[in-house]
Structure 1
Amino acid sequence: MPEQWPFIKMHGLENYFVILDRRDGSKPLDTEEIVRICSTSVGVGGEQLLTIERASDEGLRSGAYAAMRIFNIDGREVGACGNATRCMAYLLLEESGRDEVLLELAGGVVHCRRAGSMEVSITLGPISMDWRKIPLLREVDTLHLPIESGPLSDGAALYIGNPHAIFFVNQLDSVDMGRYAPAVQNADLFPEGANVGVAQVLDGQTLRLVVWERPGKLTRACGTGACVASYAALKRGLVTSKKIAVHLPGGKLDIELLQGDTVRMTGPVAFCCHGFLSSCK
């Protein structure tokens, strides 16, 4: 890490990110540095660390303006995060002066556009329910998972750049996520773990959702979780509209299910602070 490295901290519905620009070719951060930066005790504090990268040759051929890498609080790199993508997209939209940009993620190039003064729409997917893609340990019916943990049963497994298990319940407030979600997240069926979402259907176009995220924490908002919960609800016949409002503890995301199993997510972004990181090595 450079002796002084500028950072920006942003959030999407109280899902917090520390953002660094590595387009100058700076040395990648190691796991220890990522864990320290994300720590609320000794670092800036965030649920993920994001780095802006130069687009790859393949990304440039697809028209990508830049690339993004995403790291969880344990230093592990992950392939997707909806709220993070909206925050990063906002910065690149402001930097470029454009109304639309293409952003390269691990799983491909994502279309991002302005949707308001501090709102961004991104198109993610395709969503997959193929057990090998998620991945699962063995072949099962991914629309009806053979996993139970207390009130969590008959869930669905999906992949949208990261693995998810979604469960539908009648009374969301009665579910103790800290008690029941970890058993699903760490089940042998999910060799890479899973983000565990629990949803309540309010009507044909509205869901409530809470998500227990990898590596093991309750989050105020999960964008990819909102996407796959909407997709699973439609597959199950629990909603009637392809435009779904998903209410999370941190606020609302608007989800639109598109052709080809892709999904458009629209929601707000906000700034927290900015400053400089100092190396402790």
Structure 2
Amino acid sequence: MTKFLKMHGLGNDFMLLDAREHPVALTAQQVRNLADRCTGVGFDQLILVEPSETASVKARFWNPDGSEVPSCGNGSRALAVYLGGAASIETAGGPLTSAASGSQAEIDMGPPRWHWEQTLAYPLDTLHLPVSWDELTDPAALSVGNPHIVFEVSDPAAIPLESLGPRIETDPLFPAGINVGIARVDALDRITLRVWERGAGLTRACGTGAVAAVAALQKRGRIGAEVTVTMPGGEVRVRRDESGHLHLAGPAIISFTGEIDLEAFA
């Protein structure tokens, strides 16, 4: 039997496996079976914690469709709370540093990456992409460890993201797929956001989505250096430091712990 934790950050929920002492090998089908909310554990992402030669730990992330992704902002915050204190985290999306106290954690997500090769199939202006999907126009595309497209809208709740999200996620313009964010600027220090996550669909909160939306709106001069991001599951804070790094801060909690026979889900 393998021990696991169920955690969430603003309702964005995770299954965490600590494989630092006992290695765990996962298949895509195994992840899909574990992600089933009726017959498995159920989660928006699975986090596997492994030893690292360059950081406190190595973190790997899987979506419920079985795809492994390089980065997860809220998942990194959940991991930071699990580790406690200050830590460094090796991810496929780049190195992260974290600081946690109780149920609160802040992650240095590094600088946003705007080069077209981070997100697109061919060169375009990533700050103002000349593309549209129905009422969604003039997006920005960037990477914050994984790829995002951000649209500014007047009413995020009115956008049919359930239908537009999968269309945009799988558009050939984005060879690795893309996360889709729709944001409204409420004030210089506050935005409202909804996110369709690549490989997961609509989630109650998305950490990298919050960071990407703030980065895009900051670069367009629409908001200030420190911003509260309101999502269906609650609020996180994103700030840009003097070096251009973006920091994601907010709560994460352990919902419960358990043991599971991973082979039964192979």
TM class by shorter chain equals: over 0.9
Aligned positions of 1:26-45 closer than 5 A: 26-45=23-42
Tell me which of 84, 88, 91 is aligned to 2:79.
Answer: 88
Which ranges in structure 1 are unaligned for 5 or more consecutive residues? 94-98
Query: 1:10·1:272 contact (CA, 8 Å) conserved in 2?
Result: yes
Q: Counterpart of 2:204?
A: 220
Q: Counterpart of 1:117?
A: 102
Aligned counterparts of 1:6 and 1:160: Cα–Cα separation in 2: 31
Aligned counterparts of 1:42 and 1:71: Cα–Cα separation in 2: 18
Alpha-carbon offset, residue 270 of structure 1:
1.2
Q: Counterpart of 1:73?
A: 64
Query: 1:149·1:184 contact (CA, 8 Å) conserved in 2?
Result: yes
Query: 1:182·1:216 contact (CA, 8 Å) conserved in 2?
Result: no
Query: 1:256·1:265 contact (CA, 8 Å) conserved in 2?
Result: yes
* SS in structure 2 at match of 1:272: strand
Q: Counterpart of 2:179?
A: 195
* SS in structure 1 at match of 2:130: coil
Q: Counterpart of 1:131?
A: 116
Aligned counterparts of 1:140 and 1:127: Cα–Cα separation in 2: 17
Q: Counterpart of 2:255?
A: 272
- Larger mean CA deviation between 176-185 and 39-48 belongs to 176-185
Query: 1:148·1:184 contact (CA, 8 Å) conserved in 2?
Result: no
* SS in structure 1 at match of 2:237: strand
* SS in structure 1 at match of 2:215: helix
Tell me which of 228, 231, 235 is aligned to 1:252.
Answer: 235
* SS in structure 1 at match of 2:117: coil
Alpha-carbon offset, residue 259 of structure 1:
3.4
Query: 2:94·2:145 contact (CA, 8 Å) conserved in 1?
Result: no
Alpha-carbon offset, residue 261 of structure 1:
3.2
Aligned counterparts of 2:216 and 2:209: Cα–Cα separation in 1: 10
Query: 2:96·2:109 contact (CA, 8 Å) conserved in 1?
Result: yes
Identity %: 35
Query: 2:12·2:74 contact (CA, 8 Å) conserved in 1?
Result: yes
One-letter amino acid of the structure 1 residue matched with residue 92 of structure 2: A
Q: Counterpart of 1:96?
A: none
Alpha-carbon offset, residue 160 of structure 1:
0.9
Query: 1:70·1:80 contact (CA, 8 Å) conserved in 2?
Result: yes
Aligned counterparts of 1:26 and 1:113: Cα–Cα separation in 2: 26
Aligned counterparts of 2:200 and 2:76: Cα–Cα separation in 1: 21
* SS in structure 1 at match of 2:106: strand
Instruction: Please report the TM-score for the alignment, with normalisation by the length of structure 2.
Output: 0.96
Aligned counterparts of 2:200 and 2:19: Cα–Cα separation in 1: 28
Aligned counterparts of 1:65 and 1:177: Cα–Cα separation in 2: 38
Q: Counterpart of 1:207?
A: 191
Aligned residues: 264
* SS in structure 1 at match of 2:39: coil
Alpha-carbon offset, residue 181 of structure 1:
2.0
Q: Counterpart of 2:93?
A: 107
One-letter amino acid of the structure 2 residue matched with residue 8 of structure 1: L
CA-to-aligned-CA distance 1:22-79 (integer Å, 9 cap, x gap): 1124241111111111110210000111111000x3x1xxxx2111110111211111
Alpha-carbon distance change, 259 to 189 in structure 1, aligned in 2, over 3 angstroms: farther
Tell me which of 10, 14, 29 is aligned to 1:13.
Answer: 10
Is 1:53 the equivalent of 2:38? no
Alpha-carbon distance change, 184 to 147 in structure 1, aligned in 2, over 3 angstroms: farther
